[in-house]
Amino acid sequence: MKQKSQRNTNLEILRIISMFLIISHHFAVHGMKGLEFIASNPNTYVVYFFGILVKIGVVVFILISAYFMINSTFTFRKLLVLGGEVYFYSLLFLGLVVQLTYLSDPLTIADWGVHLLPISHSAYWFVTGYIVLMVLSPFLNKFLKSLSKETYIKLIVVVMVMWSIFPTFTPIFMIGPIANNFIGSSFQYVPLIWFVVIYIIGSFIRLHVDLDKISYKTLIATFSVGMIITYAISCIVGYLDIVHTQSSSLHMIFGLPLEAVYYDTLYLWPALENKLFLFVASVALFLIFLKREEFSNKYLNYIAGSALGVYLIHDNLLIRAYIWQNILGPISYYNSPYLFFIAIAMLIVVYVVCTGLDIIRRETIEKVWIWIVDNKLIGVSNWFERKYKSFENYLGNYLK
């Protein structure tokens, strides 16, 4: 029997940290939604700090995936297992909401559609993009492995200029009454395109980067500088947003949607995952953990296996407002001198509770689902993989 390779716990710890950062962002944007920030209140900048952390988690998740997927084989089984997890939580919370009465408004047809078709209709935007990336990975892998290191570097320069450097230093402008009618928006943030860019860079690290040639001191300095610059710009932009009374023109220049005017969210602009300083900091953080001496801890690896479940539970569209506004209510602590520590406590509670719930699913529902996939759906899975491989080979021969 082939021995199962051990997972690098350094990267599993990084998964846990990344999800913790994602929750911190949701604390800021969902927990503080509707709050009128006061420029002179120090807690405004505490909220800004938590708000900008999410995109580090997003970038790191994709980097980790790319690092492994570049040398792995896409299987329909992986897609079925992941899809089963997404559908379980989407349908579970849909059913709970239908039974409970805490929602002030009844579910619309659109609500039903999104949660009955959560992947295709982006009930979880990150998962939708990630699954598309999984499906594209065999083609991306063939293309990227065919490049010489020199050509690969040129590709990275081109995509970084177009989808990171350009949108970081050039604002976009509204040219009409419709909020999405912009000049210069062609190279702004588009999740799937940016996921592919991250995949390109994560794969390059696996294929061509010699970690022994990069010092910890350099990586830590790069991460620190990138985060300091991101946070400083966030505070400055957020301050201007408050002082200028949520100017819609200011929001349009920085590329945020018009509805964001009502929630003081301009401070998030420097922290979009394609902004150069935050992205560089994210890559540096990934390399710090990757460079550490590998070890494997089955307990930490097991806990990290619920990282995606934590996201699917706490950020479900139907219950996240209830979690943050009705159960936790961080907005009521806006004037507390202990807001930072209260926020940390809330983040830990959310992570621990969601991890516990997901472990129950993994030990019960998921085991049943995996048995069904491996025993009842194996024919469908093998048929799909044969057709997909045939198409992959056809496309590869056509492009030669």
Q: Quick check: is 191 in a domain?
A: yes
| Pick from 103, 85, 56: nearest CA to 234 | 56
| Pick from 291, 312, 331: nearest CA to 46 | 331
Q: Quick check: is 221 in a domain?
A: yes
| Pick from 79, 81, 95: nearest CA to 138 | 79
Q: Quick check: is 199 in a domain?
A: yes
Question: Are 201 and 283 contacting, i.e. CB atoms less than 8 angstroms apart?
Answer: yes
Question: Residue 245: left (phi > 0), alpha (psi -120 to 50), or beta?
Answer: left
Provide, for the chain, the percentages of residues in helix, strand and coil under a 3-state DSSP scheme, each rounded to the nearest 5: 75, 0, 25
Domains contained in the chain, number: 1
Tell me the backbone φ, ψ of residue 63, rounded to 5 degrees.
-60, -45
Both tokens of 30, joined, read: 């969902």
Question: Are 169 and 188 contacting, i.e. CB atoms less than 8 angstroms apart?
Answer: no
Domain that holds residue 126: 9-398
Q: Which residues of 328-347 are buried (b: 16+ CB within 10 A; e: fewer)?
A: bebeebbeeeebeebbeebb
- pLDDT attached to residue 213: 93
Q: Quick check: is 164 in a domain?
A: yes
Q: Quick check: is 4 in a domain?
A: no
**End-to-end distance of the chain based on CA atoms, in angstroms?**
38
Pairwise CA distance, residues 337 & 185, whole Å: 40
One pLDDT digit (tens) per residue for the chain, 400 residues: 344 567 899 999 999 999 999 999 999 999 998 888 888 999 999 999 999 988 899 999 999 999 999 998 888 899 999 999 999 999 999 988 887 765 556 778 888 889 999 999 889 999 999 999 999 999 999 999 999 999 999 999 999 998 899 888 875 544 444 444 444 455 667 788 999 999 999 999 999 999 999 999 999 999 999 999 999 999 988 888 777 654 555 555 555 544 444 445 778 878 888 899 999 999 999 999 999 999 999 999 999 999 999 999 999 999 999 999 999 999 999 999 999 999 999 999 999 999 999 999 999 999 999 999 999 888 887 788 777 777 777 666 665 5
Sign of CA dihedral 85, 314, 22, 296: negative
Q: Quick check: is 1 in a domain?
A: no
Q: Quick check: is 3 in a domain?
A: no
Sign of CA dihedral 59, 60, 65, 70: positive
